[in-house]
Amino acid sequence: MSKTNWSIAWLRLGVNMGIRIQSIPNSEWWQVIEVERMSSIKDGFMAKRTRMGWVVYRSVDSFTPVFRFPSSVALDEPLTFADEEE
């Protein structure tokens, strides 16, 4: 399955540290739906991929990022509704 088709995935910073995000249809934005050991990020925050890596904001209207993942961090562990049904 291509990463472009993932609707839910993890951004992992370490073994037990990361965020689970869900894509927003027809948008570059992803919404944070689960946080694992990252106190500066909360459920409902918004993330998007930039030229410099993944960046997390409080909302789509925020100018200042809350957290910036290193450029080496990529989407991990795809979970789609089709996969869950199989």
Residue 84 is predicted with a pLDDT of 46
What Rg do the C-alpha atoms of the chain give, in angstroms? Answer: 12
- pLDDT one-digit tens code per residue, 6-55: 789 999 998 889 999 999 999 999 999 999 999 999 999 999 999 999 99
- Distance between CA 23 and CA 25 in Å, rounded? 6
Give the list of residues 6+ apart from residue 59 with CB closer than 8 angstroms, or none. 45, 46
Judge whether residue 56 has pLDDT over 50.
Answer: yes
Unique residue bearing structure tokens 């925050």: 45
| Backbone phi and psi for residue 5, each to the nearest 5 degrees, phi listed first | -95, 0
Predicted TM-score (pTM) of the model is: 0.82
Helix (H, G, I), strand (E, B) or coil at 4: helix
15, 20, 63: which is closest to 41 by C-alpha? 20
